[in-house]
């Protein structure tokens, strides 16, 4: 196949670019017949389409093209770029091609004249798949971050509502019952009042615990260390699990999303140890090192096989890793049967202004 004049007059450097470029490059004459293609272009097209293009068959490119993106449609063949006059050429657009072995692939395309006298035009394509995957991942992460933020905001609202409204009303009712005990000597009435008071007191404690579980006020008001100490005290009182907590943060504060991620991951890890590790003691270490906020949760319990699904749904570990990644951190879980489990969260904090 005789190459077009543009190919023959290329410098050695430009010829290497044409032959070795990862972008697909096509040269067409003014009738739409393919004059030359680089290896990247030939690689994506089936043999019959290549033959039709080189033979100049009418609408040969239609055998592989599935339309381009216009300002009104995602994929359209109206006003085809191959048939546009020179004054209205498509210099940059997105096009979809049926490729050899990869199905329909989106490309960034450009189509313009390089020799107006001969009518020679060049069609260049760059695979957009990696870029679109990154954009899709970015969109997913952004949406997940918004969902988690919305969840935490709703948890905070419900927690405040339970504490400031429901719990206060119950407390007022308990006080009224205590006053009522001094207003009668009827033993039957007194016994019923005491039973009701005890029931409402238990309900009040449960509501307060629900409020803290939803979103501890200490996390927003005083930071991670205070929230951890309060949480571990309740765990010990409720379940008998002793949490050996060591912190090197004092009263340091971090952005809300970082504190929330660390708290939720620790909460989940301690809960997993309580449910599955079969231990009485868990150690938690919270500190900074090398520009990283580090949280370590370790137990010497049952453990599980590396690479296997731990007891339970496994959604806890997935959620922990997802939260860590959205905060720009990493989560590693090391476990051996009969040896125990170690969870390590690391979040970079060098760029944050740490508030005392």
In this predicted model, what pLDDT tens digit does every residue of 81-138 receive, in sequence order? 777 666 566 678 899 998 888 899 999 988 888 888 888 888 899 999 999 899 988 8
> How confident is the model at residue 70, as a pLDDT?
83
- Domain 223-356, architecture per CATH: 2-Layer Sandwich (3.30)
**If you average pLDDT over every residue of the chain, what do you get?**
84
pTM over 0.75: no
pLDDT value of residue 71: 80
Please state, in angstroms and rounded to a whole number, the distance separating the CA atoms of residues 263 and 284.
12
The pLDDT of residue 261 is 92
pLDDT attached to residue 2: 46
User: Is pLDDT larger for residue 6 or for residue 34?
Assistant: 34
Residue 227 confidence (pLDDT) above 50: yes
CA 204 from centroid of its chain's CA atoms: 37
Give residue limits of the domains in the chain.
5-127, 129-215, 223-356
Query: Which pLDDT does position 10 carry in this prediction?
Result: 63
CA distances from 323 to 86, 164, 263, 296, 350 (A): 52, 29, 11, 16, 19
Please give the sequence-ordered ranges of beta strands (E in DSSP) within the chain, or none if there are none.
24-28, 34-37, 65-68, 93-99, 103-115, 120-127, 242-247, 281-289, 292-299, 330-336, 340-348
Average confidence (pLDDT) over 319-326: 88
232-241, 261-270, 306-315: segment of lowest average pLDDT: 306-315
Residues 6+ apart with CB under 8 A from 87: none
Q: Higher-confidence residue: 332 or 1?
A: 332
Share of the chain above pLDDT 90, in %: 24
Lowest mean pLDDT among 151-160, 277-286, 301-310: 301-310
Please provide the CATH number assigned to the domain covering 5-127.
Answer: 3.30.450.20
Q: What's the confidence (pLDDT) of residue 353? A: 46
For the chain, what percent of residues have pLDDT higher than 70?
Answer: 90
Residue 341 is predicted with a pLDDT of: 93
Cα-based distances in Å from 280 to 237, 269, 300, 343? 13, 14, 9, 17
Copy the structure tokens of residue 85.
């006059």
């Amino acid at each position: 196949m005789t190459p077009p004049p543009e190919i023959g007059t290329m410098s050695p450097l430009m010829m290497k670019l044409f032959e070795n470029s990862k972008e697909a490059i096509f040269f067409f004459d003014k009738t739409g017949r393919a004059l030359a293609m680089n290896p990247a272009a030939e690689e994506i097209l089936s043999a019959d389409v290549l033959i039709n293009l080189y033979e100049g068959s009418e609408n040969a490119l239609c055998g592989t093209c599935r339309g381009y993106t216009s300002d009104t449609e995602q994929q359209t063949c109206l006003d085809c770029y191959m048939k546009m006059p020179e004054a209205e050429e498509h210099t940059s657009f997105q096009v979809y091609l049926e490729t050899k072995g990869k199905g329909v692939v989106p490309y960034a395309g450009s189509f313009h004249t390089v020799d107006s006298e001969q009518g020679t035009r060049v069609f260049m394509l760059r695979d957009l798949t990696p870029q679109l995957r990154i954009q899709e991942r970015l969109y997913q992460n952004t949406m997940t971050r918004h969902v988690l933020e919305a969840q935490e905001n709703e948890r905070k609202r419900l927690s405040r509502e339970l504490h400031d409204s429901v719990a206060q009303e119950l407390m007022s009712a308990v006080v009224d019952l205590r006053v009522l005990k001094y207003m009668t000597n009827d033993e039957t009435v007194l016994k019923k009042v005491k039973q009701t008071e005890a029931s409402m007191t238990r309900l009040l404690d449960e509501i307060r615990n629900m409020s803290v579980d939803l979103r501890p006020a200490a996390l927003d008001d005083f930071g991670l260390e205070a929230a951890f100490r309060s949480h571990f005290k309740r765990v010990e009182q409720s379940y008998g699990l002793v949490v050996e907590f060591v912190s090197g943060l004092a009263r340091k504060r971090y952005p809300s999303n970082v504190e929330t991620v660390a708290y939720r991951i620790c909460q989940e890890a301690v809960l997993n140890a309580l449910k599955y590790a079969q231990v009485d003691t868990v150690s938690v270490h919270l500190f900074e090192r090398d520009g990283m906020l580090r949280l370590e949760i370790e137990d010497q319990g049952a453990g599980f096989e590396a690479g296997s699904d731990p007891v339970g749904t496994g959604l806890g570990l997935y959620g922990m890793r997802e939260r860590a990644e959205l905060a720009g951190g990493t989560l590693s879980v090391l476990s051996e049967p009969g040896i125990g489990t170690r969870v390590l969260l690391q979040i970079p904090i060098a760029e944050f202004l740490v508030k005392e």
